[in-house]
A = this chain, B = another copy of it.
Amino acid sequence: MACIEPRVLKGFRDFLPPQELTRREMVEKIERSFRSFGFVPIDTPALEYAEILLGKGGGETEKQVYRFTDQGGREVALRFDLTVPFARFMAEHRAELTLPFKRYHIAKVWRGENTQRGRYREFTQCDFDIAGSSSPGADFEILLLIRNTLGSLTGGQKPAGRGVTVRLNHRGLFNRFLASLGAGDQSVEVLRRVDKLAKIGLEGVRELLGELLGEEQSRRVLDYISLGKEGDFNQTLKKLKAAAGEGEDTQRLEALGHWMKDTGTEAGFVLDPSITRGLDYYTGVVFETFLDQLPGIGSVCSGGRYDNLAGLYSSERIPGVGASIGLDRLQAALEELGGGTARPGPGAAVACLGEGEAGRAQALAEEFRARGLTCEVFLEPKKLTQQFILAEKRGIPWVIVPPEKAASPGGPLTLRNIPARESREGLTIEAAAALIRDGARDSATPPSLP
Contacts and interface: CB of A to CB of B under 8 A. Distances in A.
Judged by DSSP, the binding face of A is mixed
Interface size grouping (class) on chain A: 35 or more
B9 A47 contact: yes
Interface stretch (A87-95, A195-203, A236-244): A87-95
A100 B380 CA distance: 10
A64 to B, nearest CB: 8
A314 B36 CA distance: 48
A29 interface: no
A436 to B, nearest CB: 13
B136 A358 contact: yes
A73 to B, nearest CB: 12
Interface string A319-346: 0000000000000000000000000110
A220 to B, nearest CB: 34
Interface in A157-187: none
A140 B361 CA distance: 11
Interface stretch (A224-232, A258-266, A291-299, A421-429): A258-266
Contact of A17 (B7, B40, B141, B390): B40
A449 interface: no
Contacts of A91: 3, 6
Contact of A363 (B5, B72, B262, B366): B262
Interface of A: 1, 3-10, 12-17, 20-21, 23-24, 31, 35-38, 40-49, 51-52, 55, 63-64, 66, 68-72, 74, 76, 78, 88-89, 91-93, 96, 98, 100, 102-103, 108, 110, 112, 122, 130, 133, 135-138, 140-141, 144, 148, 255, 258-264, 310-315, 344-345, 347, 349, 352, 355-356, 358-363, 365-366, 369, 373-377, 379-380, 390, 393-394, 396
